[in-house]
């Protein structure tokens, strides 16, 4: 992030100095604008809707005298323009900071640069304002991913990338793209995970977090296991959410790892979505457990649980 000292101008007088923090994604323009000069036009790349979009573009004093800004007028309330320098010496360059913030659609704004004892200069700004790409916040494992983009003039699909899955476009409608997902092999073992999805089209890119739930995986509920002593062992009950057919093979093995301890497991109650089991650990192994332990069977992890008495 960069910081620029800019000047707020009001009624021909310098009103205040302002330190502006310029974000890394600020748009930098190569075109140099002559001051004073004939009417000039700036075509900007698409910007994001309902966000402060910063544009930095250079200006050049083409006269043999120093010029002093009086004010920079804008034709639209969504546009703010600030000069980096109050005075530009003869033949030297400086820059403007323009801040654009409006809803989606076409943006056409006119800057009128008033310089003391010089003709005014008009600069037209033209761009398209795009809404952020959006997806559902929660995705069920195996579902398709729907990306919405309400900017109807763009027909090119959005590129979707994520380390946990590959996405292939399966259907397209105006402002709506549906992707078929192929998940990484290890993903299906996890009941829920937050993934980072990158959505990109041309230079417009956003990153969005997405919760993916796998109803075919097992989850531990509750996450606090309250043990009590019984017959010389520490015993607790634990609830699995998920298909009972997935719990049965674990119960059949008779053991499950609780941290470093080998716990005996016994099935008590079951339904189509919930299984309650009993876990018991020897007093010696229980004494070596910390406050938190991971539940595992082979290479399958059910996450960490808190251990209580």
Residue 80's pLDDT is what?
Answer: 83
- Bond into 222 cis (ω within 30): yes
pLDDT in tens, 198-238: 888 776 777 888 888 776 777 777 778 899 999 999 999 98
Residue 3's pLDDT is what?
Answer: 52
Residue 256's pLDDT is what?
Answer: 93
| Domains detected in the chain | 2-130 (2.60.40.10), 138-213 (2.60.40), 219-308 (2.60.40)
Q: Where are the beta strands (DSSP E) in 101-144?
A: 105-115, 121-130, 138-140
- For residue 209, the SS3 value is strand
Contacts of 291 (CB under 8 A, 6+ apart): 306, 307
Residue 149 has φ and ψ, to the nearest 5°, of: -145, 105
Query: Which portions of the chain are predicted below pLDDT 50?
Result: 5, 9-17
Q: Which two tokens stand for residue 46?
A: 């698409």
Residue 19's pLDDT is what?
Answer: 57
pLDDT in tens, 191-205: 778 888 988 877 677
Residue 261's pLDDT is what?
Answer: 93
Cα 251 to Cα 44, 247, 294, 296: the distances in Å are: 63, 6, 17, 13
Residue with tokens 């546009």: 79
């Amino acid at each position: 992030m960069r910081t620029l000292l800019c000047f707020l101008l009001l009624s021909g007088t310098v009103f205040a100095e302002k330190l502006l923090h310029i974000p890394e994604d600020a748009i930098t323009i190569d075109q140099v604008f002559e001051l004073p000069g004939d009417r000039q036009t700036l075509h900007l790349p698409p910007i994001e809707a309902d966000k402060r979009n910063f544009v930095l573009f250079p200006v050049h004093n083409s006269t043999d005298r120093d010029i002093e800004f009086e004010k920079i007028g804008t034709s639209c309330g969504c546009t703010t323009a600030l000069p980096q320098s109050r005075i530009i010496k003869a033949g030297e360059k400086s820059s403007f900071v323009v801040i654009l913030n409006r809803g989606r659609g076409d943006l056409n704004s006119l800057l009128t640069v008033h310089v003391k004892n010089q003709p005014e200069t008009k600069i037209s700004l033209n761009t398209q304002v795009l809404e952020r790409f959006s997806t559902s916040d929660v995705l069920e494992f195996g579902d398709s991913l729907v990306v919405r983009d309400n900017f109807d003039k763009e027909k090119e699909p959005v590129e979707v990338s994520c380390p946990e899955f590959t996405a292939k476009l399966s259907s397209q409608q105006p402002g709506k793209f549906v992707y078929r997902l192929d998940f990484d092999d290890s993903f299906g073992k996890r009941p829920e995970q937050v993934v980072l999805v990158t959505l990109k089209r041309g230079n417009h890119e956003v990153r969005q977090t997405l919760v993916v739930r796998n109803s075919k995986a097992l989850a531990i509920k509750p996450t606090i296991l309250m043990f009590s002593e019984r017959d010389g062992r520490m015993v607790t009950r634990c609830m699995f959410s998920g298909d009972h057919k997935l719990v049965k093979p674990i119960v059949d093995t008779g053991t499950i790892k609780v941290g470093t301890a080998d716990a005996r497991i016994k099935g008590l109650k079951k339904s189509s979505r919930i299984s309650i089991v009993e876990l018991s650990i020897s007093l010696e192994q229980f004494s070596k457990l910390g406050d938190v332990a991971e539940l595992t069977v082979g290479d399958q992890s059910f996450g960490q649980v808190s251990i209580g008495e």
